[in-house]
Amino acid sequence: MSDLVKKVEEHYGEYITGKKEFRGEHTIVIKKEAVKAVMQYCRDHLDLVMLLDICSVDHESVDPRFEMVYELSTIDDFRHLRIKVPVAEDEEVDTVSDIWATADWHEREVYDMMGIRFTGHPNMKRILMWEGYPYHPLRKEFPLAGKPTDMPDVAFTGVAPMEGGPFVTSSTATDTVSAEPRAKGES
């Protein structure tokens, strides 16, 4: 067992519901109410100063349905810890954006794609889909072909946005210098 896992277990053992080691990667599963405290401890006392990623998993037919996954690392990436947090549908998770600024956009993406909200987040709004979009596209029930929308197909206007503009390119150029955009009339 990793020394990181042992140290977290010493301080927050009552919140740990599972541990796993696979190919040298260590994962702990903690209760949702301990997210903020465990993350703060990992950063301040275990030197896991980098939050590499936050993502979520939809288990659809399992309760709790969702799982938050946090990837933590030391600055030299010598030590790494994955923390998983089960989250029921319609539950919120404490934000860690006040611990790691990089969590801001990761949490917004999780909210946008899965619908999991973060308590205390400074800007909990959609980041990829438009405000008012009623669905969360990475949930298992979302169809692969998508759903009808009232948004216009702006990506398929038929007219290129720079058509007739001041620059030209050569798609048949044989070298990179000739293929670079340039002002009309320049050779």
Radius of gyration of the chain, Cα coordinates, nearest whole angstrom = 23
C-alpha 89/C-alpha 4 separation (Å) is 30
> 1-16: per-residue pLDDT in tens?
689 999 999 999 999 9
User: What are the structure tokens assigned to 69, written together?
Assistant: 């996954």
Specify whether the CB–CB gap between 76 and 53 falls below 8 A: no
CA 128 from chain center: how many Å?
11
Give the pLDDT of residue 77: 86
* Residue 93 burial (CB count, 10 A): 24
C-alpha 66/C-alpha 59 separation (Å) is 6
Domain boundaries, the chain: 3-152
Q: SS3 of 3, please?
A: helix
161 pLDDT more than 70: no
149: pLDDT confidence band, cut at 50, 70 and 90?
confident
Q: 21: which residues sit within 8 A by CB, 6+ positions away?
A: 1, 2, 27
Domain spanning 3-152: CATH superfamily: NADH:ubiquinone oxidoreductase Nqo5 subunit (3.30.460.80)
Q: Whole-number mean pLDDT of the chain? A: 88
The model's pTM: 0.79
Query: What percentage of the chain carries pLDDT values higher than 90?
Result: 68
Specify whether the CB–CB gap between 76 and 21 falls below 8 A: no
> What's the average model confidence in pLDDT over 12-21?
97
52 pLDDT more than 90: yes
165: pLDDT confidence band, cut at 50, 70 and 90?
low
